[in-house]
Homo-oligomer: A and B are copies of this chain.
Amino acid sequence: MTNVRIFVTYKPSVFDPQGETIKEAIQSLGHDEVTAVKAGKFFDVTLTATGEDVARAVKEIADQLLVNFNMETYTYQVMEEA
């Protein structure tokens, strides 16, 4: 069994209005030390697969469902494999 965390973010070239708004809200609370905020989504996926099968499944799930490749990109991280 494998746990992967798939991170979905806007591409660097795409404006992130949520992150920008949150940055301004944080600064208005007095946290001038915060200079940038980017917002993203993540999905913790548990699979019965391991190894190469995980990489293939994550790619298919991202391609077919989780990611809008016009505006977004993704990375993933294997959190636990047993």
Chain B residues with CB under 8 A of A44:
19, 36-38, 40
Question: Shortest distance in angstroms between A16's beta carbon and chain B's nearest beta carbon?
Answer: 10
Interface size bracket, A side = 20 to 34
Q: How many copies does the complex hold?
A: 2
- The residues in A between 44 and 77 inclusive whose CB is less than 8 angstroms from any CB of B are 44-49, 53, 57, 60-61, 64-66
Partner of A57, one of B25, B31, B65: B31
Partner of A34, one of B36, B40, B46: B46
Partner of A49, one of B19, B33, B38, B65: B33
A78 at the interface (CB under 8 A from B): no
The answer for the CA separation of A35 and B33 in the assembled complex, in Å, is 41
